[in-house]
Homo-oligomer: A and B are copies of this chain.
Amino acid sequence: MRAYNFSAGPATLPEEVLKEVQAEMLDYKGTGMSLMEMSHRGPEYSALHAETIANIKQLLKIPEGYSVLFMTGGASSQFAIIPMNLLGEGQTADYTDSGAWASKAIKEAKMLGNINVVADCGKEIPTRVPTMEELNLTDGAAYLHITSNETISGAQWKTFPDCKAPLIADMSSDILSRPLDVSKFDLIYAGAQKNLGPAGITLVIIKDELAERCPESVPTMMRYKTFIKSNSLYNTIPTFPVYVLCLVTRWLLAKGGLEGMAKQNDDKAAKLYAAIDESGFYTGTAVKENRSSMNITFRIANHDLESKFIAEASEKNLKGLKGHRDVGGIRASIYNAFPVEGVDALVSFMKEFEANNG
């Protein structure tokens, strides 16, 4: 029996996708090889590569003038690659601090250039993201960086700031979960292991003209220009993660694209937040207007009951509900591929646990 896997990432994948990967493991489409064993410059992988990019462009309605790139090293590498490419000497980059991930991006960028933290609510409880009014933007900033969804705190930007500077977003934990006006952004990046596929690929969507800023001193593999020019094939790309990502994008298109996905995600999240709000036993961690539709974080007033909750849930096949080690509590990560039946099962368990312990 498949588990209901609430893990924050690496996270659950669509069962249909795993079954297809399984079926093709020793023989990809009659070639007598696994996709993993094939040249990244051969016809089979090339077709998958092109289709994955086309599907992402279609899903996000990406306008002309942007490239879809596959890099490695996760969001943590992007935290350095962004200022290396885009923050010139003497310039200032604006960052919002909305929690643990934004804070890591800021810490790394500060090693490499001049940073202005334009709003800081990263340590507030209840958790939230900054309001537009709070942003103390720098005139002529190199860019403004935000973290669209804080996986640990469960706070999510619902609308995005207007600013003159290029807008950059770490969307690792909510990419492809809802429609997006990509034209508002100059750079979007996301580690794959939440909504996209297995760990090992970083999706980057970049306005081509932004990449032109990069100084020639930046190493080849750390330059966006290298990936734009080579179609992400400068060196051997992690083919297997892209293959799985391709199957995930097909699955998304078949499910009605991002409109369909957003509706399903909102419905799933609403069920859990309703269960929290109706209880008087559970307390949501984030302010209501910033509640994440991906990571539902909550507490029980008596914190000792939380580990009991997590252990008993696990016995009922509800796995991975422990909050991040830095903050504790309970976290239900319900990315695109998380089934609604698992949400219903958690809601039932929450009511039962409250009845027995409330």
List the interface of chain A (C-beta within 8 A of B): 1-3, 5, 7-13, 15, 18-19, 21-22, 25-27, 31-34, 36-40, 42, 72-77, 79-80, 84, 108, 111-112, 191, 193, 198-201, 216-217, 219-222, 234-241, 244, 317, 319-320
A73 neighbours in B (Cβ, 8 Å):
72-73, 221, 235
Contacts of A18 in B (CB 8 A): 25-26, 34, 36
B112 touches A219 (CB 8 A): yes
Is there contact, CB below 8 Å, between A31 and B19? no
Alpha-carbon distance A39/B1, docked complex (angstroms)? 19
Q: In the complex, are the beta carbons of B76 and A234 less than 8 A apart?
A: yes
Can you list 5 A-B contacts (CB < 8 A)?
A32-B319, A39-B320, A72-B200, A112-B219, A200-B238
Given A5-B33, A32-B317, A40-B10: A198 in contact with B15 (beta carbons within 8 A): no
Are the C-beta atoms of B32 and A2 separated by less than 8 Å?
yes
> Are B39 and A222 interface neighbours, CB within 8 A?
no
Contact A238 B1 (CB under 8 A): no
Which residue of chain B has the shortest Cβ distance to A78 in the bound complex?
B221
How long is the Cα–Cα vector from A193 to B35 in the complex, in angstroms? Answer: 12
The complex places the Cα of A15 from the Cα of B25 at a distance, in Å, of 10
Q: How far is the CB of A138 from chain B (nearest CB, A)?
A: 23
Residue of B25, B108, B320 touching A220 (CB-CB under 8 A): B108
Contact B10 A236 (CB under 8 A): yes
Residues of B within 8 A of A244 (CB): 36
Known interface pairs A21-B25, A199-B240, A241-B240; A37-B77 also in contact (CB < 8 Å): no
Query: Cβ of A236 and Cβ of B74 under 8 Å apart?
Result: yes
A78 to chain B, nearest CB (A): 9
Q: A11: which of B37, B112, B221 is its contact (CB, 8 Å)? A: B37
Given contacts A198-B238, A199-B239, A200-B72, contact A217 B111 (CB under 8 A): yes
Instruction: Give the distance in Å from the alpha carbon of A101 to the alpha carbon of B41 in the complex.
Output: 17
Which residues of chain B are within 8 angstroms of A222 by Cβ–Cβ distance? 77, 80, 222
